[in-house]
Amino acid sequence: PRAGPPPWLERLNEAQRKAVDTLDGPLLVLAGAGTGKTRVLTTRLAHLIHQGKARPYQILCVTFTNKAAREMRERVAELVGGTTEGMWLGTFHALAARILRRHAELVSLKPSFTILDTDDQIRLLKQILQAEHVDEKRWPARMLIHVIQRWKDKGLAPDRVGAGEAGDLVNGKAVDIYRQYQERLITLNAADFGDLMLHNLTIFTKHPDVLEQYQRMFRYCLVDEYQDTNVSQYLWLRLLAQKNKNICCVGDDDQSIYGWRGAEVGNILRFEKDFPGAAVVRLERNYRSTPHILGAASGLIAKNEGRLGKTLWTDEEDGEPVRVRGVWDGEEEARQVGDEIETQHRKRVSLDEMAILVRAGFQTREFEERLITLGIPYKVIGGARFYEREEIRDAIAYLRVVAQPADDLALERIINKPARKIGKATEQAIHDLQRRTGDPMYFAARQLVQTDELKPQARNALTGILNDFDRWRSMADGIGQVELTETILDESGYTLMWQQSKKPEAPGKLENLKELTVAMEEFATLGEFLEHVSLVMDNEDRSDEEQVSLMTLHAAKGLEFDVIFLPGWEEGLFPSQRTMDENGMAGLEEERRLAYVGLTRARKRAFISFAANRRIHGQWTSAIPSRFIDELPQDFVEVESDRGVYAGIGGGSAEDRADFIYGGGYSGGYGAGRSAGSDVSLRSDGPDPQAYRSAGGGPGWQRLRQRGVGGTKPP
Ligand code: ATP
Ligand code: MG
C-alpha cells in the first residue's frame, strides 16, 4: 500500500466511496440509472490494484458487452498506469470460454473446440429429431433449441432436468433429445453458448481441485449489470466467490431487460441470502440526467409493480422538459428528428452526443435515410446500417442484375442464393468462358447453356435463372418498382428462403425486406432508387468523424448521450405487441423497464415521438400513442403536436386526447385531421381515409377509452 488517499476516491461521493472502500466481503450496490455504478466498479478495480490487494490477474470482472470491457480496461489503465495485462475482464461468455479452453478435456472436449452459432445448433438438433422420427411440425427444432437454451440458462444438464420441467414436450422425449444433442456436440468437439457456462459448472462441481484453483486465484469478483444475469451465471459466480466471499455486484432491478433470455431479477434477492452479512450500498444521487428527465423516467417506472423501489435525486439544473411530439407518420417523424439534430448541432451539441434509440431493428431505416439526405454522419451500434444488411444487399443485387445484366458482382452474389443447384463447378465454367471471351458473367452464362459442357441439372438450373432475369427485365417497364421487387423476391424463392429459415434473425430479415419496398416508393423509377442506394453505400468509414448513433434500446444499456431521441412510442410497436402476447403482464413490465432504460440514457434532453399512422412491415395502420406516454408525469413533459404545444396529454378529456392524437378534429375525419401548420402533404398511397375516420368510433378509439387514459372520464 502506498501513502495518501489516491485521487480517484476524491472524485466519488460518500456512498460511492463506501462502495469502493469496502474492499473485503460481499457487497451489493443497488441503485438507479446514472448513479455511478459502473464508475464505482471501475474505480474499485483500480483501487484494488493500487492498494496491493490483488494483482490484475487476480480480479475477475464481468461486464455486459465486450465494448464495456474495453472501456473499463482503458479507464483502469488510465487510473493506475499500464498494468491491465492478464486481467480477467470481459463478458460471461468470454470469461467462461477462456476457462473452458484450459480444462476442456474434463468435459471430453479438446481445447480447440468450436463455438456453434444458433444456425448450427438448429441444424444439429434437426438431425437428431429426424433420426427420432419426431414430427417437426408439432415440435419445431427452433422451439426446442429455445427450451434447451433455457435449461442451460438455469444450469440444468440433461441429468438435472426434472420431470416437471420437461412435461410432455416431444411426447416425453425432450430430455432424451437434449442428452443426445449434448453427446453430438461432444463428438463434434463443439459447444454452444449455453454450454460455456454449463461446462464450467460441471467442471467446478466435479473437480473441486480445479474450482479451488480459481477460487484462490480470483481474490475479488466484480459484476456490472447484475440484474441481467441468469441462474447459471449466478451459480458460476457463487462458486467462484464462495471461498473468500469478496464479490461486488452492481445492478438496478428497474433495468432488467433480458428476461426473455433467461435473466432473473431474483438473483438480486438471492445474493443477500447466499452471502449473509453482505453490505448493501444504495446510491441515490444521479449524475447523469436533468431533474426533468429523471422525473419523467422515475414516474414511468413507478407504474411497475414488481420493484425493489429506490430513491433518485439530482443536483443538476432543471433543464428542459422531456418533449413528446405527435406526428403524422414515420416520414414526418424522421424529418423532425433530423431537424432537431441539426438544431442541437447548431447549439454546439456534438453529433457523438446524440442517439436515436428504437425498439426494433427495422425502424432505423427511415432515420438513416433522413440523415443521409441531410448529410449527417451516423453509425448503427450493434448492427449493420440498413442498406448493408445481408438481405437488403441480396435484394438489391437482384435488382441490379435486372437493371444492368453486366453487373457481375451482383449476379455472383445471388446466382445461387437461395440455393438452386448452381454449384462451384458451374460458376467456374462460367468464369473460364469469361476469361476466353471477355464477356460479362450474364452473357457468358447464356453462351454456356447453349453448349453441353454443364451437366443437365446444372444447365437447367442456370437456364432457369437466366430466363427469370429476362422475364423480370421485360416486366420492369410495365409495373412499378415496388411490385417488381415483390415479384422478384417471390419468384426467385428469396423470400421463401427466409420464411423457411429457422435462424433467429429470419423474422427481422423479412421485416427489413418489407421495409425496403417502403423505401423504394419514394423514388419514381428503379434506376433512381438504385442510384440512391449506391450513393448511400458509398459512405466510407468515417469513424474518426462526429457521428450520430442509432441503436436498439437493448443495445443502449449502460451508455449515455446528451440528447436522446425515442421515436415510435405507439401501442404494439412499443410496448411491443409480440412481447405482451408472449409474456402478458411480465412482458409489459419488461417493456416499461426498456422505456426507463431509454429515457435514462439522456443527460440533457429527451425527445419522444409517436406517429398517428405507421407503416409496419409494409402495412399502414393508424396508431395509438403508447400507454407509456400517458404514464409520464405531466410535470416533466411538454406535449406538442403540429399545431403547437398541447398541455398534459394525460389530463385532458378523452375527446381532447383523441383530438390531439389525430391532429385535431378527429370526428371531422380525414381532411380536418391535417393540422394547419404542417407541411406534410398526403400521398395518394397514404392511409385509408375510411380507416382514419373510424378512429372516432372504431376499435382504436374503443381501446383508448378502455385503457382509461390517466384520470379520464369516459365521454
Ligand atoms: P447505468 O445504470 O445507466 O448503467 P450507472 O449507475 O452505471 O448507470 P455511470 O455510468 O457509472 O452510472 O455514471 C453515470 C454518469 O455520472 C457518468 O457520466 C459518470 O462519469 C458520472 N458520475 C458518476 N459518479 C460521479 C461523481 N461522483 N461525480 C461526478 N460524476 C459522476
Ligand atoms: Mg452502468
The interface pTM score, or ipTM, of the predicted complex is 0.99
CA–CA separation, 666 and 668 (whole Å) = 5
Q: What percent of the chain has pLDDT over 90?
A: 54
Q: Give residues with Cβ within 8 angstroms of 384, minimum separation 6.
A: 390
Residue 486 has pLDDT above 60, yes or no: yes
Q: What is the pLDDT of residue 679?
A: 25
Residue 165 clears pLDDT 90, i.e. is over it: no
34 is in an annotated binding site: yes
Query: How confident is the model over 347-363, as a mean pLDDT?
Result: 95
Least confident of 484-488, 554-558, 647-651, 659-663: 659-663
Q: Which residue from 45, 224, 288, 554 has its CB within 8 A of the most atoms of ligand 1, so it is best to mutate? A: 288
What is the per-residue pLDDT for 548?
96
- Mutation probe of ligand 1 site: the residue of 11, 17, 20, 38 with most atoms within 8 A of C-beta: 38
Atom 21 in ligand 1: which residue has the minimum CA distance?
A: 287
Q: How far is CA 529 from the centre of its chain?
A: 28
Per-residue pLDDT, 120: 73
Is residue 26 within 8 Å of residue 61, measured between CB atoms?
no
What is the whole-number distance in angstroms between the Cα of residue 328 and the centre of ligand 1?
37
Q: What value does the mean pLDDT take over residues 89-110?
A: 93
Q: pLDDT tier at 542 (50, 70, 90 boundaries)?
A: low
User: Whose alpha carbon is nearest atom 14 of ligand 1?
Assistant: 34
Distance of CA 425 to the CA centre of its chain: 40
pTM (two decimals): 0.76
Q: Please determine, for residue 353, whether its predicted confidence score (pLDDT) is greater than 90.
A: yes
* pLDDT over threshold 50, residue 669: no
Per-residue confidence (pLDDT) for residue 212, from 0 to 100: 97
Note the pLDDT tens digit of each residue in 147-160: 999 999 999 999 99
The better pLDDT of the pair 263, 291 is held by 291
Per-residue pLDDT, 83: 65
**Banded model confidence at residue 538, pLDDT cuts 50, 70, 90:** low
Instruction: State the average pLDDT for the chain.
Output: 84
What was the pLDDT predicted at 77?
A: 86
More confident residue, 414 or 712: 414
* Amino acid 609: pLDDT: 97
Q: From atom 23 of ligand 1, which residue's Cα is the shortest distance away? A: 36
Averaged pLDDT for residues 519-525: 84
List all residues 6 or more positions away from 120 whose beta carbon is below 8 Å from its beta carbon: 190
Q: Whose CA is nearest to atom 30 of ligand 1?
A: 287
Q: What is the mean pLDDT of residues 131-143?
A: 89
Q: Which residue has the higher pLDDT, 207 or 681?
A: 207
For ligand 1, what atom is nearest to the CA of residue 287? 16
Q: Kindly tell me if the per-residue pLDDT of 667 is higher than 70.
A: no
> In this structure, are residues 435 and 428 in contact, taking their beta carbons and an 8 Å threshold?
no
172 has a pLDDT exceeding 50: yes
Residue 686 vs residue 220, higher pLDDT: 220
- CA–CA dist 699, 266 (Å, integer): 38
For the stretch 605-615, pLDDT in tens is 999 999 999 88
Strand runs labelled E in 185-246: 190-191, 220-223
Asked if residue 628 has pLDDT above 70, the reply is: yes
Radius of gyration of the chain (CA): 28
pLDDT, mean of residues 448-459: 92
Query: Is 37 annotated among the ligand-binding residues?
Result: yes
Cis peptide upstream of residue 418 (ω within 30 degrees of 0): yes
> Residue whose CA is closest, atom 15 of ligand 1?
288
Distance 323 CA to ligand 1 centre (A): 24
pLDDT above 80: residue 383: no
Q: Do the annotations mark residue 191 as ligand-binding?
A: no
| Residues classed as catalytic | 37-38, 224-225, 255, 601
The residue-averaged pLDDT of 317-332 equals 92
Q: How far apart are the first and last CA of the chain?
A: 72
Give the residue, out of 11, 16, 37, 39, with the most ligand 1 atoms within 8 A of its beta carbon, to mutate for a pocket test: 39
Q: How many CB atoms lie within 10 A of CB 153?
A: 21
H-run or E-run covering 177: helix 174-187
Whether 24 contacts 304, CB under 8 Å: no
| Strand boundaries in 76-137, DSSP class E | 88-90, 114-115
Distance 487 CA to ligand 2 centre (A): 47
Whether 706 has a pLDDT exceeding 60, the answer reads no
Q: Pick the ligand that lies closest to the CA of residue 30.
A: 1
For the cut 80, the answer to whether the pLDDT of residue 19 exceeds it is yes
Is 686 annotated to bind a ligand? Reply is: no
The predicted pLDDT at position 702 comes to 25
Q: How far is ligand 2, taken at its centre, from the CA of residue 66, in Å?
A: 14
Task: State yes or no: pLDDT of 124 exceeds 90.
Answer: no
With beta carbons less than 8 A apart as the criterion, state whether 557 and 590 touch: no
**Average pLDDT value for residue range 328-342:** 95
Predicted confidence band at 543 (pLDDT cuts at 50, 70, 90)?
Answer: low
At residue 548, φ and ψ (nearest 5 deg) are: -75, 145
10 compared with 697, residue with greater pLDDT? 10
Backbone angles phi, psi at 29, to 5 degrees: -105, 115
- What average pLDDT does the segment 573-585 reach? 89
Q: pLDDT band for 2, please (50, 70, 90 cuts).
A: low
Distance between Cα 560 and ligand 2 center (Å): 9
Tell me the per-residue pLDDT of 502-511, one tens digit each, with 9 for 90 and over: 887 888 899 8
Ligand 1 closest atom vs CA 16 = 27
Q: What percent of the chain clears pLDDT 70, i.e. is strictly above it?
A: 87
So what's the pLDDT on residue 125?
92
Report residues whose beta carbon is within 6 angstroms of any ligand 1 atom. Answer: 11-13, 16, 31, 33-39, 252, 255, 287-288, 558, 560, 600
What is the secondary structure of 314-351 as a DSSP string? Answer: --S---PPEEEEEEEEHHHHHHHHHHHHHHHHHTT--G
* Per-residue model confidence (pLDDT) at position 641: 66
> DSSP characters for 150-164?
HHHHTT--GGG--HH
Ligand 1 mean position to 19 CA, how many Å?
14
